Each structure stands twice: as structure tokens, then as C-alpha cells.
Amino acid sequence: MRVVVPYRVADPKTRLAPLLDREERVSFSETMLADVLDAVTATGHAPTVLATEDVDPSVPGTNVRVDDRPLSDAVNALLGDGPVAVVMADLALATTPALSRLFDADGDVVIAPGVGGGTNALVVRHPDFRVDYHGVSYRDHRRVCERIGAATTTLDSYRLGTDVDEPGDLAEVLLHGEGRSRSWLRDRGVRLAVGEGRVGVRREDDGREWAVEESGVGGADASAERDHDPE
């Protein structure tokens, strides 16, 4: 089975800008990619980075395919000729056991959904299935499976269901990360910010802070009184 990891090279993870500058976002994205590639490689598969432009992965044995088309078009160009797994590059909590569960699960199409209705990882064994990552892609992918008669399995996985897009997501990496991404954040002074509600994150160097509200929406909250977790 081929394992593909899509990766946007230019100006990645812009929603992390409240806490990370552009150079930091590039570096952190590369680090998350390396974590995902490490986990894939440890399952016994040789991953292919599907990059928007040329990139030099730090993990030995990784192939690179450059395709600057939109994500869905680039992925669909690889489907229909044998089993393919697609694992997003921002799954900083992904581990080898979690990916092995995905790769070994039964079904013509196996989907690991993300919070908010996205598709964070999937395995495609049906020749007629094609992806569409716009909108509520998990729901849309299940509808595609119904239309083409593909047996669908939904994989319930916290580690594969947690992608890193917003500053609040960094708290999950600090709490549960096992790879390079957690160390990267720690080395740059990103820490947990513990208050009365959900845990947020802060920068030790300049005091910037991101609080996650009960609604799940976060925001800068430098004036809030908080106890700062040393971790």
C-alpha cells in the first residue's frame, strides 16, 4: 500500500500566527511532517510526501512527489490504481500504533475524521473512490462511498483526529505529543496556560497567550489571571 502525506510548503499554518511568526510556522510544520513520516516509516511503509513544491524531508527513505494543484486534485491523481493511504502532515500526535490501526482496518474506504467534520486520514481500496476535501469532507466522503457501493469504516482515534490548525491545538501537542513537535514547542518557550476553563497556551519570551473558550473558540487573553503550568 502506498502512503501519501500531503504537505503545503509555502506559508503554512497561517492560523498559528498569534503565537508563531512565519519562520517559526515553517519550522514547526516541517517538524510535524517529520513526526508523521517517522510514524509511517515505523509501520513498515515508505511514505511519499505530496508537496506543493520541492522539499527535502529529514526522514530517510521518504519519496517526494511535487504537485501544485489543489489538494483534492493532487490526491485524486494517485487514486484508482491499488490501495492508497492519505495521512495529513499536521497530525503531530500520530503514532505508529494509531497508524497501524488505520492501515489494518477492514473496509473499502477507512476514514479517520477530525474535529469539525474534516478527514484527517484515510485508506482507499475502492477503485472508484475520489476525495473532496472542501467543506464537511467526512460527511461528503461517506456519501461518496454510499453512491459507489463502497464498504466504509470510521476509525475512532484521538491521535489521528487531532490536527494542528489553531493556537489552542498546541496544548494537545504539549499534553500528549510523543515526538519532535512537543520538543520543538518546549524549546521555543511555548507552555500550557492553566485557568478555570480549558487549558490554553502561552509564550514565555513575550507573554503572548491564547485562551480556549468553552465554545471552542480561542483568543488572545494576555490580561487574564492564570496559573501557568510548568510543563
Higher-pLDDT residue of 127, 219: 127
pLDDT of residue 112: 98
Q: How confident is the model at residue 69 (pLDDT cuts 50, 70, 90)?
A: very high
pTM for the predicted model, two decimal places? 0.90
Look up residue 153 and give its three cell numbers.
Answer: 469504516
Distance between CA 32 and CA 35 in Å, rounded?
A: 5
- Residue 226: predicted pLDDT: 31
User: Mean of the per-residue pLDDT values for the chain?
Assistant: 91
Instruction: Return the residue matching grid coordinates 492508497.
Output: 84
Query: For the segment 88-107, what is each residue's pLDDT rounded down to a tens digit?
Result: 999 999 999 999 999 999 99
pLDDT category at 230 given cuts 50, 70, 90 is very low
% of the chain with per-residue pLDDT over 70: 91
Secondary structure element (H or E) that encloses residue 87, with its range: strand 84-87
Residues in contact with 105: Cβ distance below 8 Å, sequence separation at least 6, in sequence order: 123, 153, 155
pLDDT of residue 213: 56
Q: pLDDT at position 208, please?
A: 79
d(CA 156, CA 111): 9
- Give mean pLDDT, residues 176-197: 94
pLDDT at 183 over 70: yes
CA angle 8, 11, 13 (to 5 degrees): 75
Per-residue pLDDT, averaged over 43-71, amounts to 95
| pLDDT > 80? residue 221 | no
pLDDT for 15 equals 95
Report residue 80 as a C-alpha cell: 484508482
CATH number of 2-161: 3.90.550.10
* Structural domain spans, the chain: 2-161, 169-228
State the cell numbers at 108: 473499502
